[in-house]
Amino acid sequence: MKQIEVITPITVVKYSELSSEEQRLVDAARAASHRAYAPYSKFRVGAAIALDNGEVITGANQENVAYPSGTCAERSACFYAHAQYPDAKFRVIAIAAVGTDGNELKQPISPCGSCRQALLEYEMLAQGDVKVILIGSEDIYIVSSVKSLLPLAFSEF
């Protein structure tokens, strides 16, 4: 029998330790979370993607009474980004969430499986790692790539 161990290194930082570019992306994701349409779950998520052309694209989760017709913030942002800038490569994505009490979550959240797979597609298009910043009110997690979040994904890697 053979055992494979999968390890995902995560860097834990405070907002003040981020670069100005990373802070701008975190601020954009936090702002986007307040634009979510989440009347059923009351769980609002925002995402912000930095493209290699300098653009920052945001998205927010959009719920629908005919679940699962809605979409997550991450897919909202990545689909819009690629539709508007098909030649631009993703560099970084930041993700923030507001809980049912209206406050930013203390601990960071990570993308669901569907979003991880969708984001991995754009990491493959970028032909390089796309950094993932997961935002909490106290700690911020930085993961070096989307594939680190989905190590056994359907991919060309």
CA distance 155 to 157: 5
CA distance 64 to 19: 36
- 156 among known catalytic residues: no
CA distance 139 to 101: 19
Residue of 22, 63, 74, 123 with catalytic role = 74
- Please give the positions annotated as active site: 74
